[in-house]
Amino acid sequence: MAAARTLRIGLIPGDGIGREVIPAGRRVLEALPASLNLKFSFVDLDAGFETFKRTGSALPDKTVEILKKECDGALFGAVSSPSTKVAGYSSPIVALRKKLDLYANVRPVKTTAGHSTGKPIDMVIVRENTEDLYVKEERTEETPNGKVAEAIKRISEKASSRISTIAGEIALRRQKIRDVAPGSSFRTSPMVTITHKSNVLSQTDGLFRETARKALAAERFSSVEVEEQIVDSMVYKLFRQPEYYDVIVAPNLYGDILSDGAAALVGSLGLVPSANVGDGFAIGEPCHGSAPDIEGKGIANPIATLRSVALMLEFLGEEQAAAKIYTAVDANLDEARFLSPDLGGKATTQQVLDDVLKRL
């Protein structure tokens, strides 16, 4: 037998329920069957608003350094946003995405056969993760009429092309899985929908649109249908016809908004994973926030984190291990015996986790 591959994973629980779900993510990695020939080592890392209050930095240099030098991937929980402006504080996950050049934020949203609140959904939102308004270049001026603040929205050909290519590749990969396991989805062909607002932002979103069109016109994407949707219509159609969509590619901010919208359609943000993906590195991150209302109660839904673990593994090339976790999670949802309160159940984080582990 070949030597086991060992992956070193940084664990960044962050704030609030991040501290309750990230340990569940670690557990599922530890519980993967030995037959996969995969080993994991872990390193605990700091980031978040609590870290900021303690150290004056929401993302200590050491965290970034260890991720860069030692780790193959990481899991990020959630961070609290201060309820009023706090000088010097800025979101560590946004900074992390930039510092590690994690240029794609991949957010699959799907219903399972047995667990659905409405229409069947099986889509993935591929969100550009480094630019747009997230460059956070802002300034404020005092004028005779009061303050005026400006922010830069930056869209580059390079980032738009890169993210669109990834979207195309994800569409192809999803189709390959469907071809192998035709029962695994109600979808039958690959499609990428380009989202933008080029009717108002002709240069920035126009560049995104044009570049995406060009990238997706490449020969290897010839089997992928390509269409586009203006962002406001996209939200409308997402809600009216979610079953229509396969892969949605969008600039950073629209991707942020669309993924929350899609999450609402499957019943809970507690189900939706994401991966922040760069070349050879991936951070799994549940889409939900730090949820101060349920913090400390032990009832946070760990599913989004477990799926984020699987997604991270996928992008680290461990598709078999990922598939194991997806299947176990889907079975938990389909049986619907151990569901957390956000899904109308009564199970604790631990009980949901145990039920998934038992199915691995």
Ligand X SMILES: CC(C)[C@H](C(=O)O)[C@@H](O)C(=O)O
Residues that bind ligand X (CB under 6 A): 91, 93-94, 199-200, 232, 256
Return the one option of ligand X, a copy of itself, none that residue 188 interacts with (CB less than 5 to 8 A, by type).
none
Q: Is 260 in the site for a copy of itself (CB under 8 A)?
A: yes
* Separation between Cα atoms, residue 258 and residue 125, nearest integer Å: 8
Q: Is 176 in the site for a copy of itself (CB under 8 A)?
A: no
Token reading at 214: 């060009």
Q: In angstroms, what is the minimal distance from the CB of 254 to ligand X?
A: 11
Please choose, from the candidates 306, 327, 353, 314, the residue with its C-alpha nearest in 3D space to the C-alpha of residue 7: 314
Nearer to ligand X, 94 or 353 (CB): 94
Return the one option of a copy of itself, ligand X, none that residue 152 interacts with (CB less than 5 to 8 A, by type).
a copy of itself
Nearer to a copy of itself, 314 or 342 (CB): 342
Return the one option of a copy of itself, ligand X, none that residue 157 interacts with (CB less than 5 to 8 A, by type).
a copy of itself
Q: In angstroms, what is the minimal distance from the CB of 91 to ligand X?
A: 4
The set of residues, in sequence order, having a beta carbon less than 8 Å from that of 342 and lying 6+ positions away, is: 267, 268, 269, 270, 301
How many residues line the site for a copy of itself (CB under 8 A)? 58
Token reading at 24: 């569940």
Nearer to a copy of itself, 73 or 270 (CB): 270
> What would the DSSP string read from start to end of 182-246?
GGG-S--S-EEEEEE-TTT-TTHHHHHHHHHHHHHTSGGGTTSEEEEEEHHHHHHHHHH-GGG-S
Token reading at 229: 């949707």
Nearer to a copy of itself, 24 or 230 (CB): 230
Binding string, 79-98, against a copy of itself, x = CB under 8 A?
Answer: --x---x----xx--x----
* Separation between Cα atoms, residue 272 and residue 262, nearest integer Å: 9
Q: In angstroms, what is the minimal distance from the CB of 95 to ligand X?
A: 10
